Amino acid sequence: MGSSESTVPRPPSPPPPNPELDKPWRKFDWGQKEDLKKKLENFCPSHPDVKDIKILLAGPIGAGKSSFINSVDSAFLGRISSRALVDTSGGDSQSFTKNLKGFSIRSGKKTLPFIFKDIMGLEPEAFEGSQTEDIINAVYGHVKDGYKFNEEKPLTFKDQQFNHDPNLSDQSFCLVYVLPANILQYTDDRLIDKLKIIRQRISERGIPQVVVMTKMDEACPLVQKNLRKMYTSKKIKEKMELCSAKVGVPMSHIFPVKNYHDEIDTNNDVDVLILKAIEQIVHIANDRLEDSESF
Ligand SMILES: Nc1nc2c(ncn2[C@@H]2O[C@H](COP(=O)(O)OP(=O)(O)O)[C@@H](O)[C@H]2O)c(=O)[nH]1
Ligand SMILES: [Mg+2]
């Protein structure tokens, strides 16, 4: 059997800390997919002048904005969609979204009453202020569809593409930051500062902000193996708490997801996280829309 050498007994090393909590810290029903789909299919904006809710997605290049739109589309279609065109080049090409354009989502024959707008990547190193101005203008409906964002020069009221008189349906009632789970540890403060400026400016008019945290699979091996560990993984909880502290959004406004990225079929657990995020975003936006009489 073993060698007869005498070994100095080592003090027992403490067991590694369990990466998993005993109980999920957020209650989450993994069986609610059909319910969520139905609710979203039957949703109707609560203001008669607004046909659909505009959901503005902002975030760095490669964060997963296009993949998120595709994932929402896929969850409703029941098959993988690639309409929003994901950048597969690793993020350094020039082919990322530069034009403001809307994506609507269909379920069966019905077009759902919300539209995603994917805006230019929010890069920490880009010219001071220009992107934050563009994002703020986009929230308030001043940026016309098709406008081609220019990193070096924000849209101004003198431009043709500036909508001087946005109506209620041109405006966004929720700004969604799409941020990959691992970004906040490594990013420099310039991105955080930009987010802060945007937050201050849009909260003047009470526009809520939420974070969709993507690439949760890459952030935690437990979750990579099984998405249902999302709310028991200590690592995921830490990432979300860090995000809440740095970006200044409450935990209740942060939604962890895994986008479809290399799958060929949809699955329940990916869908249910994506649909839950959308359901919450749509309600947060609609609540703000209901209050819109007040300004
Ligand atoms: N593992 C993983 N990869 C993702 C996820 N979301 C996006 N990706 C990948 O990240 C890259 C950038 O995504 P993309 O949607 O183009 O980002 P965008 O620039 O914000 O539109 C693509 O290669 C995606 O396949 C995710 O949740 N998990
Ligand atoms: Mg994109």
Q: In degrees rounded to 5, what are phi and psi of residue 55?
A: -115, 115
User: Is there an atom of ligand 1 within 6 Å of 142 CB?
Assistant: no
Ligand 1 within 6 A of CB of 220: no
pLDDT over 70, % of the chain = 88
- Digit-coded pLDDT (tens) for 213-269: 999 999 999 999 999 999 999 999 999 999 999 999 999 999 999 999 999 999 999
Distances (CA, A) of 286 to 1, 178, 198: 71, 20, 20
Taking all residues of the chain, what is their mean pLDDT, rounded to a whole number?
87
Residues within 5 Å of ion ligand 2, judged at the Cβ atom: 65-66, 97
| Distance in Å, CA 86 to ligand 1 centroid | 7
pLDDT higher for 97 or 73?
Answer: 73
How far is residue 112's CA from residue 52's CA, in Å, rounded to a whole number?
8
Q: Does the structure show a pLDDT above 60 at 276?
A: yes
Does the C-beta of 57 come closer than 6 Å to ligand 1? no
pLDDT band at 125 (very low <50, low <70, confident <90, very high): low
pLDDT at 148 over 90: no
Q: Whose CA is nearest to atom 11 of ligand 1?
A: 62
The per-residue pLDDT for range 189-227, each reduced to its tens digit, is 888 888 888 889 998 889 999 999 999 999 999 999 999
Given ligand 1 and candidates 57, 66, 67, which is best to mutate, with the most ligand atoms within 8 Å of its CB? Answer: 67
Residue nearest atom 2 in ligand 1 by C-alpha distance: 215
Q: How confident is the model at residue 121 (pLDDT cuts 50, 70, 90)?
A: low
Task: Answer yes or no: is pLDDT of 182 > 50.
Answer: yes
C-alpha gyration radius of the chain = 21
Specify the pairing of strand 53-59 against strand 172-180.
parallel
- Say if residue 3's pLDDT is above 70: no
